[in-house]
């Protein structure tokens, strides 16, 4: 539908003719009432142009301006109002480029931030081939996301990735107009977040990782800084403390959580499902309360993820009791609970977000919970588990749910995963990367790219606006930005790069 090199594809894009706008020494961003967004936009344009694009307080009517506008209703963006939920509306935007100026309009700051990333993708070489000559084509882009939650989950427990790597992940996510970074902070192999009420967790269990590779953890300040960095790019951080299984790192640090009172040995293998909390121990509820209360307090966003997956050594009643205890603590701290699909076995507060991942039994498991008011987040492994190998020759990655080539991540319909579930019960789509075999930033980006771009388009773009052929053309342009950023990516044979 569009020849413009935009990923994800927008709802509508019209080229209006004429030369477009050439960034030059007179170009400035008009801050108006939005100085923070203006400096973000100016920073992005400066990086594009190779010279500093300044911010000025006023002058929206003058030429050579980049103007930011918050508007009150979707009609002012050129969107039909009907059917635009508040979660989708925050991401909606309009970009208008003329020979005189660039206007970015949105209903919320997030939409303006997305609009700025559209300018980056539209930028083409300018008329004078010198450095910094950048031309934006004359266009009107009017756009709104299909889903409000467009995420990526990163496992920093099996292998640790420091704040700098996560900032690059955030940059890549922002460029794809993704808006949720879910951090899998704890697992059998390591505990990656300092929890002030329980300092032993990182003192003891941040040191380990799969294969005796180096560990690491985020301090309270690290998480605060990363969260602010992400928010300035339109991305909400969702921390996950995986309970009541995947807890060996906690049991190794805190012997009081085991029936014998003895800490477990550290674990650096890649088996799953063997570790567990015990509902009957008097130490368990205080542990949950301390950890989840601290994590909620460290989280400006509305969500805390309590895990809940793969507890293979526990009766259902005890599992439900532990999940419900954790959920009550998170809700008492004012946050909405997110959990992997297994939490559907517990009694959930309406509005809880249930994350489907294992297609073998996911649909049957989550359907009753969704009918009772839970919301569905879709992470079907065979489509969006980006740690699965591309094909049999991929040097790293797992294979338990098959191989996931680029087109597998692209060609699927979120509403077909749990047939019959209404679109209004689906909050969105989240890719995931588990790091059992992922040891370096190069490994990480090699598995993420280009598949994350495919998932971003599934999450953002209405199904009738998507086409594999069009994606193939557009993602080739995008790959140049990965090259410029020095990121390693996979040259899928499905695309003529
Ligand atoms: C999971 O992959 N165990 C959520």
Name every residue whose Cβ is closer than 8 Å to that of residue 195 and which is 6 or more positions away in sequence.
Answer: 201, 202, 290, 291, 294, 295
Q: What confidence tier does 130 reach under pLDDT thresholds 50, 70, 90?
A: low
The CA-based angle 365-368-372, given to 5 degrees, is: 140
Cα(433) to ligand 1 centroid in Å equals 10
d(CA 346, ligand 1 centre) in Å? 17
Segment (H or E) for 175: helix 163-175
Polymer length of the chain: 497
- Please say if the pLDDT value at position 236 is more than 50: yes
Pseudo-torsion of CA 224, 228, 230, 233, nearest 10°?
180
290 falls in which pLDDT band (50, 70, 90)? very high
CA 374/CA 140 separation, integer angstroms: 38
- Residues 387 and 393 sit within 8 Å (Cβ to Cβ): no
Residue 310 CA to ligand 1 centre (angstroms): 7
| Token reading at 424 | 């209004």
Residue located nearest, by CA, to atom 4 of ligand 1: 309
Best residue among 358, 365, 383 to mutate for probing ligand 1, ranked by most atoms within 8 Å of CB? 358
Which pLDDT score, from 0 to 100, does residue 477 have? 94
Give the strands of the sheet with 65-70, arranged side by side: 12-15, 139-143, 93-97, 102-106, 65-70, 28-30, 55-56
Query: Looking at 1-10, 219-228, 385-394, 449-458, which range is the least confident one?
Result: 1-10
Give the model confidence (pLDDT) of 14-30 as tens digits: 999 888 999 999 999 99
pLDDT of 427 reads: 98
Rounded to two decimals, what is the model's pTM? 0.97
Q: What is the pLDDT of residue 1?
A: 47
What CA–CA distance (Å, rounded) separates 90 from 430? 18
What mean pLDDT do residues 321-333 have?
Answer: 98
Helix, strand, or coil (residue 304): strand
Clarify whether 310 is annotated catalytic.
yes
Residue 340 CA: nearest ligand 1 atom is: 4
Q: What is the pLDDT of residue 156?
A: 98
Q: What is the pLDDT of residue 349?
A: 98
**Predicted local confidence at residue 125, as pLDDT:** 77
CA of 432 to the centre of ligand 1 (A): 9
Strands (E), 244-308: 303-307
Q: Rounded to whole angstroms, how far apart are CA atoms 152 and 386?
A: 10
Q: Is the pLDDT of residue 314 over 60?
A: yes
Ligand 1: residue of 153, 240, 306, 340 to mutate (most ligand atoms within 8 A of CB) is 340
Closest CA to 341 of 374, 315, 300: 374
Question: Is pLDDT above 90 for 404?
Answer: yes
Q: What is the mean pLDDT of residues 277-298?
A: 98
Q: How far apart are CA 319 and CA 277, in angstroms?
A: 9
pLDDT score recorded for residue 2: 58
Instruction: Please say whether the beta carbons of 305 and 239 come within 8 A.
Output: yes
Confidence of residue 127 (pLDDT cuts 50, 70, 90): confident
Which of the listed residues 157, 357, 385, 436 should we mutate to test ligand 1's pocket, taking the one with most ligand atoms within 8 A of CB? 357
What is the rounded CA–CA span in Å between residue 69 and residue 199? 46
Q: If you take atom 3 of ligand 1, which residue's CA is the nearest one?
A: 309
Q: Which residues line ligand 1 (CB under 6 A)?
A: 309-310, 340, 357
CA angle 86, 92, 95 (to 5 degrees): 160
Degrees to nearest 5, angle at CA 191 with 185 and 195:
85
The whole-chain average pLDDT of the chain stands at 96
Q: What is the predicted pLDDT for the residue at 81?
A: 72
Closest CA to 83 of 320, 452, 422: 422
Domains and CATH numbers, the chain: 12-143 (3.30.379.10), 149-484 (3.20.20.80)
Q: How far apart are the first and last CA of the chain?
A: 20
Q: Which two tokens stand for residue 125?
A: 């070489």
Looking at residues 54-78, what average pLDDT do you find? Answer: 94
pLDDT digits (tens, 9 = 90+) for 342-373: 999 999 999 999 999 999 999 999 999 999 99
- The model's pLDDT over 163-222, given as tens digits with 9 standing for 90+, comes to 999 999 999 999 999 999 999 999 999 999 999 999 999 999 999 999 999 999 999 999
For residue 132, what pLDDT is reported? 55
Nearest atom of ligand 1 to the alpha carbon of 246: 3
Distance 412 CA to ligand 1 centre (A): 20
Catalytic residue among 285, 310, 324, 331: 310
Tokens, residue 311: 């507890």
Task: Calculate Rg over the CA atoms of the chain.
Answer: 23
Angle at 409 between CA 405 and CA 410, to 5 degrees: 115
């Amino acid at each position: 539908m569009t020849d413009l090199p935009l990923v994800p594809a927008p709802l509508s894009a019209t080229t209006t003719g004429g030369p477009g706008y050439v960034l030059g020494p007179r170009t400035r961003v008009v801050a108006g009432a939005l100085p923070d967004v203006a400096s973000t936009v100016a920073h992005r344009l400066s990086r594009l142009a190779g010279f500093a694009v300044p911010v000025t307080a006023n002058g929206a009517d003058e030429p050579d301006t980049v103007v930011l506008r918050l508007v009150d209703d979707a009609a002012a963006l050129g969107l039909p109002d009907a059917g635009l939920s508040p979660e989708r509306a925050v991401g909606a935007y309009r970009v208008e480029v003329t020979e005189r100026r660039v206007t970015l309009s949105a209903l919320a700051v997030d939409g303006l931030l997305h609009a700025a990333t559209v300018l980056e993708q539209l930028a083409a070489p300018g008329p004078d081939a010198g450095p910094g000559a950048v031309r934006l084509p004359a266009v009107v882009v009017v756009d709104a996301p299909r889903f409000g939650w467009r995420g990526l989950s990163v496992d920093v427990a099996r292998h640790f990735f420091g704040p700098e790597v996560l900032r690059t992940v955030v940059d890549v996510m922002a460029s794809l107009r993704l808006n949720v970074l879910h951090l899998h902070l704890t697992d059998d192999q390591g505990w990656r977040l300092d929890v002030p009420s329980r300092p032993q967790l990182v003192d003891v269990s941040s040191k380990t990782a799969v294969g005796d590779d180096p560990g690491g953890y985020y301090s309270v300040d690290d998480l605060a800084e990363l969260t602010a960095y992400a928010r300035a790019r339109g991305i909400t951080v969702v921390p996950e403390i995986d309970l009541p299984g995947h807890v060996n790192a906690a049991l190794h640090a805190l012997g009081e959580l085991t029936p014998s009172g003895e800490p477990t040995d550290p674990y650096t293998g890649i088996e799953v499902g063997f570790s567990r909390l015990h509902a009957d121990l008097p130490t368990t509820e205080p542990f949950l309360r301390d950890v989840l209360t601290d994590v909620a307090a460290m989280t400006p966003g509305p969500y805390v993820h309590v895990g809940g997956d793969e507890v293979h050594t526990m009766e259902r009643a005890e599992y439900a009791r532990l999940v419900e205890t954790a959920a009550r603590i998170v809700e008492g701290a004012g946050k909405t609970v997110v959990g992997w699909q297994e939490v559907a076995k517990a009694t959930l507060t309406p509005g809880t977000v249930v994350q489907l991942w294992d297609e073998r039994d996911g649909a049957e498991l989550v359907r009753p919970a969704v009918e009772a008011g839970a919301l569905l987040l879709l992470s079907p492994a065979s489509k969006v588990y980006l740690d699965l190998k591309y094909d049999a020759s991929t040097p790293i990655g797992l294979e338990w749910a098959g191989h996931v080539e680029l087109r597998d991540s692209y060609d699927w319909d979120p509403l077909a995963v749990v047939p019959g579930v209404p679109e209004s019960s689906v909050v969105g789509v989240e890719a995931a990367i588990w790091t059992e075999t992922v040891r370096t930033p190069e490994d990480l980006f090699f598995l993420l790219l280009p598949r994350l771009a495919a998932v971003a388009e599934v999450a953002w773009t209405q199904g009738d606006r998507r086409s594999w052929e069009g994606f193939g053309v557009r993602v080739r342009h995008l790959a140049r930005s990965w090259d410029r950023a020095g990121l390693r990516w996979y040259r899928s044979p499905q695309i003529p790069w």
